[in-house]
Copies of this chain bind each other. A is one copy, B any other.
């Protein structure tokens, strides 16, 4: 990551981190008290770039945004599930 995240980026980051499910820009706008969708899109794009090299990625699918494990680290999740089964 480069540079410190902005105020809206931090708020979006915290909201998506705590959310049980992926969120649309419209849902984020309501949750954050009426932020402009264009500003949210900018913040999401900036966050996705900041997380691109990390072990967790910010991704969008079907208009909904969420954090997920980086694809190359998926084996860590599988190992955890195996341990739970024992």
Partner among B18, B67, B69 whose Cβ is within 8 Å of the Cβ of A76: B18
How many angstroms from the CA of A54 to the CA of B17 in the assembled complex? 12
A79 vs B35: C-alpha distance when bound (angstroms): 15
> Chain A: how many interface residues by the 8 Å CB criterion?
30
Task: Let me know if A32 and B76 touch, CB within 8 A.
Answer: yes
CB of A17 within 8 A of CB of B55, answer yes
Chain B CB within 8 A of A38 CB: no
User: Which B residue's beta carbon lies closest to that of A4?
Assistant: B53
Interface string of A61-81 (1 = CB under 8 A from B): 000000101100100110110
**Complex contacts, A76 vs chain B, CB 8 Å:** 11, 14-15, 18, 31-32
